[in-house]
Amino acid sequence: MTHKPVTVWSEIPVTNLARAQAFYATVFGFDIQMDESAPQPQAILGVGAGGGGAHLYKGIPAPKGTGQVLHLAIPDRLEAAIARCESAGGTVTSPPIEIPPGRFVYAHDPDGNNLGLFEPK
């Protein structure tokens, strides 16, 4: 049996597109490209990184602490990503959690979207 990717695309609603772009570029090191060809402008995360995609768009986030959790890989150590998250306006909401493939913390972006900052082994 051949398995296909589970996640094809993720959409992250934000109230301030410029602020969100700065947050995701700072915390995750994403190359971000604006796409004006869609019905509304969107900021595509991780351009050229392969795998499932994600974009930011101007929308209404779920109330803080509700909604799905989007786990995103960080480019370095978890402690460094925690510091970047907090200095960029996010909130870390858990201690580091160890799992077989790595470790992560739960966090919120500046709009309250649920995130996992994931450091693979």
CATH code, domain carrying 32: 3.10.180.10
- With respect to residue 66, please indicate whether it lies within any of the assigned structural domains: yes
Amino acid 28: pLDDT: 95
Please give the model's pTM, rounded to 2 decimal places: 0.90
- With respect to residue 3, please indicate whether it lies within any of the assigned structural domains: no
Amino acid 2: pLDDT: 74
CB 84 within 8 A of CB 73: no
CB 36 within 8 A of CB 28: no
- With respect to residue 45, please indicate whether it lies within any of the assigned structural domains: yes
Amino acid 38: pLDDT: 78
pLDDT range class, residue 9, cuts 50, 70, 90: confident
- With respect to residue 1, please indicate whether it lies within any of the assigned structural domains: no
- With respect to residue 2, please indicate whether it lies within any of the assigned structural domains: no
Q: Is the pLDDT of residue 50 over 70?
A: no
- With respect to residue 4, please indicate whether it lies within any of the assigned structural domains: no
CA–CA distances in Å: residue 119 to residues 35, 44, 76, 84, 105:
28, 21, 7, 14, 9
- With respect to residue 62, please indicate whether it lies within any of the assigned structural domains: yes
Q: Give the domain extent around 103.
A: 9-120
Q: State phi, psi for 89 to the nearest 5 degrees.
A: 100, 5
- With respect to residue 30, please indicate whether it lies within any of the assigned structural domains: yes
What's the domain count of the chain? Answer: 1
